[in-house]
Structure 1
Amino acid sequence: MAKSAPAFTCTECGAVHKKWAGRCDACGAWNAIIEEAPLAAGPSGRTLGARRGRKLALSTLAETEAPPRRVASGLAELDRVLGGGLVPGSAILVGGDPGIGKSTLLLQAAASFAREGLSCIYVSGEEASAQVRMRAARLGLSDAPVQLAAETGLRDILTTLDALRPDLAIIDSIQTMWADHVEAAPGSVSQVRAAAHEIVSFAKKRGTAVVLVGHVTKEGQIAGPRVVEHMVDTVLYFEGERGHQFRILRAVKNRFGPADEIGVFEMTGSGLAEIANPSALFLSERGAATPGSVVFAGMEGTRPVLTEIQALVAASPLGTPRRTVVGLDANRLSTILAVLEARCGIPFAGMDVFLNVAGGMRVSEPAADLAIAAALLSAREDIALPAEMVVFGEISLSGALRPVTQSENRLKEAKKLGFSRAIAPERSKITGGVGIRVQQMPDLTTFVGEIFAAG
């Protein structure tokens, strides 16, 4: 039998190429094509069409099934992100920067689930069992009935899981797993894809919930083929800045609950502590009203979260002014600066612009546009907005302000934290009774004239 030719696969989109190239023709990614060993043709070298498959049992859309059973962990922030608890047989992928606290979070989660009556196995491919026990002792979890193993061989791990049939299995991490039937090094595209496929298939067949830890690239994406994210039911990112104690667990995909939900934790000496009211936490160090500081009333999933957006505008000694952004989209900043200059006649040429979200939070929703513009104008004109004011709204390229979703929930959260004034776009769905005075603006020009010209 002729030997199969090697295949070249793009790690970003999964496209297969006949030879290596620097740029993928399918998705345009550079340096993403990696050689991988070909898969076998099937049992005894036969092709798929050499034998008949079994007939599938079909059903109709009108048939009803009971909703999936959920098991709460006792960690309210984790349960919120999972959609209400752990679903048996689900596959969860957790990614995050090195040292951000992924192993700490999952060890605490395993201990919580074990204390709720679930049988849990924690398999570490990066640390010895003694190291995991040391972390458990530091976190005060030594008495939790969690079983440990330090192993990278996929065949041995699946054999153990099949024999014990635990309710939850945590694999730390998927990049260290080694499948002996794949001719590639651990961490390669083919190894990660094969290991993820075997583990997810086991979870679906045996009803064991599995959690896979994934390394991330320098761009912040989970390393390995993107097909792994399609295989699993839930993809979670554990975010945070090294200089801040806050950690955010964000769901970017969830087949059993809402996506874009977040859970907020605080890293302490005894592990991760839950934060029930993140808005109060992010605004706890905010002092008197200062130029360039604006409070944004945002939404993270179903939860309103208030964050402080800070801006600094100064004359630039450079030929090309600097644009530094932390916690926001840099392209969005460029768009807002262009709208301010084109529609309001306020130039930022020759000025360095620095923009930051306090507390290490990341804001991605368009509703932050008006708060960003307000912070930039406040810093440029050296005018402080009232400390009791919150701002939200989307800015269009024409300078109009577009209404955003869940305006009342944003205002209710602001009222609960002591704010008495708000600026929102015109036509926002506000029925009244929120207990806060709202100024509705039709466009950015009106906002600049009423807020900053009067100041």
Structure 2
Amino acid sequence: MAKPRSLFVCNQCAYETPKWMGRCPECGNWNSFEEQIKAVSTPPAAHKAQIGHNYSNVAELIRIGEIDTENEVRFHTGVSELDRVLGGGIVKGSLVLLGGDPGIGKSTLLLQICEYLGKNLSILYVSGEESVRQLKLRANRLHVNSDNLSILASTDVEVIGNTILQHKPNIVMIDSIQTMCISSVTSSPGSITQVRESTNAFMRIAKSEDIPIFIVGHVNKDGAIAGPKVLEHIVDAVLYFEGERNLTYRILRAVKNRYGSTNEIGVFEMTQTGLNEVVNPSLMLLSGRSINVSGTCVACVMEGSRPILAEVQALVTKTGFGTPRRTATGFDYNRMNLFLAVLEKRAGYFFGNLDVYINVVGGLRLDEPGADLSVAMSLVSSLRDKPIDDDIIAFGEIGLGGEVRNVGNISDRVKEAERLGFTRAIIPKHAVAQINLNKNSNIEILPVSNIKEAFQIIL
């Protein structure tokens, strides 16, 4: 007979211990243990797994060449930015986890695509946080009124699973996984055990019935998806919504995708009627750009196969304190300090008693090395109070020796810059041979081998 026993489980990594501990020895988090009651039973000897004695339980093998994928199709969502991040559309039988901060637009995006998907497919939207009336009010605001969209307000995984198996919808959306619960599990909804077991149940349904399922996941205070890390290993794709709540623009990024690239991003704008996709992010990020102002330079970074132009702003002023202040928004703080050291050692520009501020306009974060040269040029421009011409764009990686190193996709970056009206491009000298431009191209290529040559062009 099962005997209940008390265990303390870490809500971050699912580490179990018989007594409470202040700090988890597995993941290092403090005050993360929660008490749970588990029933432990010892199975009879007759029910133990018998391997090597009963060959009637042998599975049939299928050669990989015999599997037919010619008729495999992806469901298009009607939102090209979402299709780009998913790798071309929704794959049958896939389990997709959508995470992000509260109010950033996760539920809005899923409900919006129901209008387009509902033209040819049947959709089941399961909500554990809102009533059917609340969902109807939100659907009216988003102009979603598809006849193939069915609503279910429930948190019982067994009821939801049986409903899916009975009605066989083409697509299922679960909002959110932290509200789902299984009655046979004694822990409360949102706990590690409930989240893990509920996700496993939906995963089995998705794979066995070939039904794609979207799952909305909450995030904790650190920005990671709440629940065990194994949750991200179970699903086929993990999508993150990024952006500040006080800004209208949102970035959808894939951190895991078994059916596509994880380098693609989707850009959206939050409006009163929902999320609108931004087809040309570069034009959006450069709108309202200051003219004839020192400390600004345009960078070009690659997000997957898409080149994106963003404005980098730098402000260098005399400090009013004993220790200068350094701040970076949208750029790595430690890398900014590295550039300041390189500029002082290799180029002779001293920032020791100056406050330095860096900002990337539009809420975009520049993590690619191709933005190094633009950041360095904006710093020197602000220091010398010398504006950079509006038709100049720069990209390249900066080494500790002050050299400008090559970056990938040079031709794509130059073509995107020319399309948006730039006439001069400062690029690494070693990348000139990789450029393949049309004969009618009007952009001038300015190759440089180190930061001193780059500064001579703008000063």
**Equivalent pair of 1:11/1:226 in contact (CA under 8 Å):** no
- In structure 2, the partner of 1:71 is 75
* Candidates 66, 84, 91, aligned match of 2:95: 91
Deviation string for 1:100-125 (max 9, x for gaps)?
1111111001222112x111011111
1:29, distance to aligned residue in structure 2 (A) = 4.6
- In structure 2, the partner of 1:346 is 349
- In structure 2, the partner of 1:221 is 224
- Output the CA distance in 2 between the equivalents of 1:334 and 1:21: 39
- In structure 2, the partner of 1:237 is 240
Deviates more, 1:407-416 or 1:67-76: 67-76
- In structure 2, the partner of 1:356 is 359
1:260 maps to 2:263: yes
1:403, distance to aligned residue in structure 2 (A) = 1.1
- Output the CA distance in 2 between the equivalents of 1:411 and 1:88: 38
What SS does the aligned partner of 2:351 have?
coil
Task: Mark the CA change 1:163 to 1:362 in structure 2 (over 3 Å): closer, same or farther.
Answer: same
- Output the CA distance in 1 between the equivalents of 2:35 and 2:148: 43
1:321, distance to aligned residue in structure 2 (A) = 2.7
Deviates more, 1:329-338 or 1:96-105: 329-338
Q: Which runs of 5+ in 2 are unaligned?
A: none
The number of aligned residues is 451
What SS does the aligned partner of 2:207 have?
helix
- Output the CA distance in 2 between the equivalents of 1:48 and 1:283: 66
Tell me the TM-score normalised to structure 2 length.
0.90
Task: Mark the CA change 1:437 to 1:137 in structure 2 (over 3 Å): closer, same or farther.
Answer: same
- In structure 2, the partner of 1:430 is 434
What SS does the aligned partner of 2:263 have?
coil
Aligned residues: CA RMSD: 2.6
What SS does the aligned partner of 2:199 have?
helix
- Output the CA distance in 2 between the equivalents of 1:41 and 1:441: 71
Task: Mark the CA change 1:279 to 1:183 in structure 2 (over 3 Å): closer, same or farther.
Answer: same
1:79, distance to aligned residue in structure 2 (A) = 1.0
**Equivalent pair of 2:2/2:39 in contact (CA under 8 Å):** no
- Output the CA distance in 2 between the equivalents of 1:42 and 1:447: 73
What SS does the aligned partner of 1:249 have?
strand
Instruction: Give the counterpart letter for 2:87 in structure 1.
Output: G
1:184, distance to aligned residue in structure 2 (A) = 1.1
- Output the CA distance in 2 between the equivalents of 1:256 and 1:137: 33
Task: Mark the CA change 1:11 to 1:304 in structure 2 (over 3 Å): closer, same or farther.
Answer: farther
- In structure 1, the partner of 2:402 is 399
What SS does the aligned partner of 2:98 have?
strand
**Equivalent pair of 1:34/1:189 in contact (CA under 8 Å):** no
Q: How does 1:271-310 map to 2 (within 5 A)?
A: 271-310=274-313
Task: Mark the CA change 1:123 to 1:263 in structure 2 (over 3 Å): closer, same or farther.
Answer: same
- Output the CA distance in 2 between the equivalents of 1:39 and 1:331: 50
**Equivalent pair of 1:341/1:347 in contact (CA under 8 Å):** yes
Identity of aligned residues (%): 44
- In structure 2, the partner of 1:440 is 447
1:400, distance to aligned residue in structure 2 (A) = 2.4
What SS does the aligned partner of 2:434 have?
coil
Tell me the TM-score normalised to structure 1 length.
0.91
Deviates more, 1:32-41 or 1:281-290: 32-41
1:451 maps to 2:447: no
1:404, distance to aligned residue in structure 2 (A) = 1.2
**Equivalent pair of 2:114/2:146 in contact (CA under 8 Å):** no
Q: How does 1:65-214 map to 2 (within 5 A)?
A: 65-66=68-69, 68-115=72-119, 117-214=120-217
Task: Mark the CA change 1:421 to 1:122 in structure 2 (over 3 Å): closer, same or farther.
Answer: same
- Output the CA distance in 2 between the equivalents of 1:227 and 1:423: 45
Deviation string for 1:162-216 (max 9, x for gaps)?
1111111111111111111222111111111111111112111111111111111
**Equivalent pair of 1:252/1:259 in contact (CA under 8 Å):** yes
Instruction: Give the counterpart letter for 1:431 in structure 2.
Output: I
- Output the CA distance in 2 between the equivalents of 1:366 and 1:30: 35
- Output the CA distance in 2 between the equivalents of 1:7 and 1:46: 28
- Output the CA distance in 1 between the equivalents of 2:37 and 2:379: 53
1:149, distance to aligned residue in structure 2 (A) = 1.4
Task: Mark the CA change 1:180 to 1:405 in structure 2 (over 3 Å): closer, same or farther.
Answer: same
Instruction: Give the counterpart letter for 2:354 in structure 1.
Output: M
Task: Mark the CA change 1:178 to 1:45 in structure 2 (over 3 Å): closer, same or farther.
Answer: farther
Task: Mark the CA change 1:121 to 1:299 in structure 2 (over 3 Å): closer, same or farther.
Answer: same
Task: Mark the CA change 1:36 to 1:112 in structure 2 (over 3 Å): closer, same or farther.
Answer: farther
Runs of 4+ with deviation above 3 angstroms = 1-54, 56-65
- Output the CA distance in 1 between the equivalents of 2:45 and 2:121: 42
What SS does the aligned partner of 1:427 have?
helix
Q: Which runs of 5+ in 1 are unaligned?
A: none
1:12, distance to aligned residue in structure 2 (A) = 4.8
1:59, distance to aligned residue in structure 2 (A) = 5.1
- Output the CA distance in 1 between the equivalents of 2:339 and 2:8: 42
Deviation string for 1:128-156 (max 9, x for gaps)?
11111111111111245311111111111
Structure with greater Cα Rg: 2
Q: How does 1:300-379 map to 2 (within 5 A)?
A: 300-379=303-382
**Equivalent pair of 1:73/1:86 in contact (CA under 8 Å):** yes
What SS does the aligned partner of 2:155 have?
coil
- Output the CA distance in 1 between the equivalents of 2:373 and 2:195: 43
- Output the CA distance in 2 between the equivalents of 1:379 and 1:102: 39
What SS does the aligned partner of 1:186 have?
coil
Task: Mark the CA change 1:317 to 1:298 in structure 2 (over 3 Å): closer, same or farther.
Answer: same
Instruction: Give the counterpart letter for 1:451 in structure 2.
Output: I
Task: Mark the CA change 1:441 to 1:162 in structure 2 (over 3 Å): closer, same or farther.
Answer: same
Deviation string for 1:354-404 (max 9, x for gaps)?
222111222222221222212222222211111111111122233322211
